[in-house]
Amino acid sequence: MTALTIRLPNSVHQKIKELAARDDVSVNQFIASAASEKMASVLTLDFLKSEAVKGKRSDFEHYLSMVPDAPAPAGDEPE
């Protein structure tokens, strides 16, 4: 494990301490979890962007043309 020193505004540090206590975890655990969640979010966006550039408009239109032209099911109508 790596030790890391970070500088936080006092207000942010205080709020982190409160939220960590509310979740019954240490400040270290809270920050590690927050960093992991942010990392997962960024990596997911990177993956989705890399997949999106592989898409072809012609493929999209082909599969869209296979969807039947039917009214929306009950309860799923547009407002």
Digitized pLDDT (tens) for each residue of the chain, 79 residues in all: 899 999 999 999 999 999 999 999 999 999 999 999 999 999 999 999 999 999 999 999 999 999 999 988 888 888 7
**Is residue 37 situated within a structural domain?**
yes
Q: What is the pLDDT of residue 1?
A: 86
Residue-range definition of the domain harbouring residue 55: 13-65
Domain contains 3:
no
Number of domains in the chain: 1
On whether the CB atoms of residues 26 and 20 are closer than 8 A, the answer is: yes
In a domain, 75, yes or no: no
Phi-psi region of 37 (alpha: psi -120 to 50; beta: other; left: phi over 0): alpha
Report yes or no on 27 lying in a domain. Answer: yes
pLDDT of the residue at 79: 78
Quote the pTM value: 0.68
42 within domain boundaries = yes
Distances (CA, A) of 71 to 41, 61, 74, 77, 78: 36, 20, 9, 8, 10
Residue 7 covered by a domain? no
